[in-house]
Every structure is written in structure tokens, then in C-alpha cells.
Amino acid sequence: MGKSNNIVLLFLKIPPPFGGGEIINQLIFNCLKEDNFRIFLIESSVKSNKSTQGRLSLCNLYWGFKFIKDSIHSIIGIRPYKIYISLPKDSLSFFRNSLTILFAKLLGITVYGDLAGTSFTFMDGNNVMMKIYGKYIFNKIDSIRILGDNVKNYIPYVKKDKLFSLSNGIGKNDFFTVDSKQLSRDTLNLIYVGSLEPSKGIKELFSAIKLCNDNNLKIKINILGEWINTSFKKEIMKFVEDNRLKDIIEFHGLLVDKSKWEVFIDSDVLIHPTKWDGQPVTILEAMSLGLGVITTNVGAIPDTIQNMHNGIILSDSNPMGIYNAVKNIYYDRELLQSFSANNINTFRNNLTHDIFIDKFRKWLLK
């Protein structure tokens, strides 16, 4: 077939759903429109959301087969010398993308991959054949972007010389940073942004909010995000009702763009007690505004948040640990002020979209 001398073909999935990977892909799509890049946007159902990702369904099978067919046609038509493609964490989506990877390698095309999270769930499972297949595909890929050096500890089955650490970056918002005076208000405004599911520590978060309320901490928390399913929503809402927490918790659902930033800018501390994650974009968003951060020691989060420098990192997601972190900040607003200043500096020096795109472009073209 013959390859182009200078074209990199990027396979990108942009929102919806509004996960971290999709948000970063939208940024890449907006910024990389140069002559040596071609972008293939991955189609999915208009009803796509976090609860349907990676599930075996007729709808997902249809869109999966469509992607395989269309991606192969795009490789044949564009003839890139390199492709960039995500490496999904679940087995079904990974297998779908692996077929595009194998076709590209068959034609001698360089393959760069991207791990948006921490590890691959199927590599931690019991399916031996899938583990063998996964290792085979990893060996075929020339370079894999991970979100931070700490992620290397989660994927020992991938050769270290294939891994390239590059933190995400995000665009600047229109609200600049929080007013430092608001951090001293009597009521501490908390915020959670993300998928509402057990793996994000949601049960533990609401138990911690109950502890705050029981111990007379003046707090309010805004909850932004989609529920993973209706049964989990009912369970949490019953907990809120039974413990009379409705007055201090506000559920906003999924918010994007200006409406999201308006809630963010009136907040003081982001709480993200995740049990399994890569580098949550919501943490970068909070840092850009100068919020304090309470989060957990998973994925690339320790590469982003330094404990007691620009936030508090918990060893794991548990209600008492979250409560103690909130209490610590509640009674020490100077500490919150220092978190805020350090987050603004860290973001501006390391995590802006300009810095990310420049490093990302150089990696793709090397």
C-alpha cells in the first residue's frame, strides 16, 4: 500500500459521555488541526453515557463493528505512518481497538496508544486467554502514554521502555480563580464532580458528610455527575433522606461548560475519594481555579497532588478519613489558603492545555 511520510492518524472519542478521556480528546481535537495530523472521530450511540460503556449489548456491538470497518478504511485511505489510539480498560472495547492495531501493524504502521486510566481490568481478572492476548497486543504497540510515573506500578505486564509519562492538561476557564476571601466563609463549600458510582467512593463520601453534619461542621456539598444506574441512585437518596442531609447536599446532575464552572467557582474544596482512577480531569479543573483537594492515593493522583502541599491525599477511601480531612481544612483556613495558592501555581506551571499539547505533539512526532 505504501505509507505517507508525515501523517499521523488519531482515533479520538469525544463527549458524550463526559469522562476524563473524552474531555482530553476534545482538547486534542480542538488543538491538533495541522497538516501532518488527521483525526478520525469515533462514533457512538447518541444515548451514550458512563453506564453503557464497555457493556455487552447489541447497540455497543453495532458501533464496535462500525468502528472496526471505518477505522480500517481510514487507514487504507489516508496511509499514515503512525496512528494514535486509546487502549480501553475493559476486554470488549480493548479487543475492538486491538483489531485496528493489528491491521496497522500488518501494514508496518507505527502504533502509539493511550491509557486513560490506571490499568486494564481484564489483566487483573481470571480470563487467562485474554491476559495472553493483552500481552501480545502490548508488545505490538510502539509507545503507550500513561498519566504519571506512579501508573507504572499498576501495569507490570507492559515493558517499561514502551511507557511515556505525560500528565493531562486542560484549557483555561472564564472564571480565573476563586476569591481568596471566600475560603474563610463560615460555611465550607465542598464539591464532587464525576460519575456517581461505588468505585468513585460515593458511599464513603456520603457517610463522611453525615459525620460532618453530626459533628456540627457548617458545610454544603454540590454533587455534579451522572448516576451509574437507578438502583444505586435510590440507595444513596434513601441514605440522604434517612439521615436528614437534604439541606446540605445539592444534586445538579451532569453540568458542562459555563453551568459547571459557575458551581465550581463558588466552591472551596473538591472531594474525590476514588478507589480506582488515572488522573481525574476534575482534579485539574479544581486546581486551575484554586480549590483545595481531598483525594486518594491511586493512579497518577500522587503525581498531581502532593499531600499537605496542594491538598490532602488519603491512603484509601473511608468515611472517617474523609471526615478528618474535611475537619482539618474546616478548622484551618490558612491551610486551605496555602492549598489554593499552590494549586494555582502548579496548574499554571505544569498543567495548562498549552503545555500538554506541546509535549503531546512532540511525543507523537518523535
Same domain, 12 and 75: yes
Rounded to 5°, angle at Cα 226 from 220 and 229: 115
Lowest mean pLDDT among 13-22, 89-98, 236-245, 357-366: 13-22
**Arithmetic mean of pLDDT, 31-50:** 74
Same domain, 110 and 201: no
Instruction: Cell 496511509: give the residue.
Output: 79
Residue at 175 is within a domain: no
Assign 15 a pLDDT band (cuts: 50, 70, 90). Answer: confident
The boundaries of the domain holding residue 32 are 8-165
Same domain, 122 and 210: no
Report the C-alpha gap between 124 and 129 in whole angstroms: 12
Same domain, 346 and 257: yes
What is the CATH classification number for the domain harbouring 242? 3.40.50.2000
User: Given this model, what pLDDT does residue 61 score?
Assistant: 87
pTM: 0.91
Residue at 272 is within a domain: yes
Same domain, 55 and 128: yes
Residue at 360 is within a domain: no
Same domain, 153 and 227: no
Cβ atoms < 10 Å from Cβ of 288: 25
Same domain, 241 and 101: no
Assign 174 a pLDDT band (cuts: 50, 70, 90). Answer: low
Same domain, 62 and 185: no
Say which DSSP state 228 is in. S
User: Given this model, what pLDDT does residue 44 score?
Assistant: 64
Say which DSSP state 6 is in. S
Same domain, 160 and 234: no
pLDDT digits (tens, 9 = 90+) for 107-141: 999 999 999 999 999 999 999 999 999 999 999 99
Residue at 359 is within a domain: no
Residues paired with 85 in a beta bridge: 113
User: Given this model, what pLDDT does residue 179 score?
Assistant: 87
Residue at 365 is within a domain: no
User: Given this model, what pLDDT does residue 252 score?
Assistant: 98
User: Given this model, what pLDDT does residue 242 score?
Assistant: 98
Domain count, the chain: 2
- What's the CA dihedral at 296, 297, 301, 303 to 10 degrees? 150
pLDDT digits (tens, 9 = 90+) for 237-269: 999 999 999 999 999 999 998 899 999 999 999
Same domain, 239 and 335: yes
pLDDT digits (tens, 9 = 90+) for 104-115: 999 999 999 999
Assign 39 a pLDDT band (cuts: 50, 70, 90). Answer: very high
Residue at 357 is within a domain: no
* Beta strand extents in the chain (DSSP E only): 8-12, 37-41, 82-86, 110-114, 143-146, 163-165, 188-193, 219-224, 249-253, 269-272, 292-296, 312-314
Of 138, 165, 192, the residue at which a domain comes to its end is: 165
What is the chain's mean pLDDT, rounded?
93
User: Given this model, what pLDDT does residue 105 score?
Assistant: 98
Same domain, 184 and 161: no
Determine contact, residues 71/107, Cβ cutoff 8 Å: no
Burial group, residue 234, by CB count within 10 angstroms (0-12, 13-18, 19+): exposed
Q: Dihedral of CA 101/106/107/110: which sign?
A: positive
pLDDT digits (tens, 9 = 90+) for 287-315: 999 999 999 999 999 999 999 999 999 99
Lowest mean pLDDT among 5-19, 168-182, 347-361: 168-182
Residue at 90 is within a domain: yes
Report the C-alpha gap between 282 and 271 in whole angstroms: 10
pLDDT digits (tens, 9 = 90+) for 185-236: 999 999 999 999 999 999 999 999 999 999 999 999 999 999 999 999 999 9
Length of the chain: 366
Same domain, 289 and 202: yes
Residue at 298 is within a domain: yes
68 pLDDT above the threshold of 70: yes
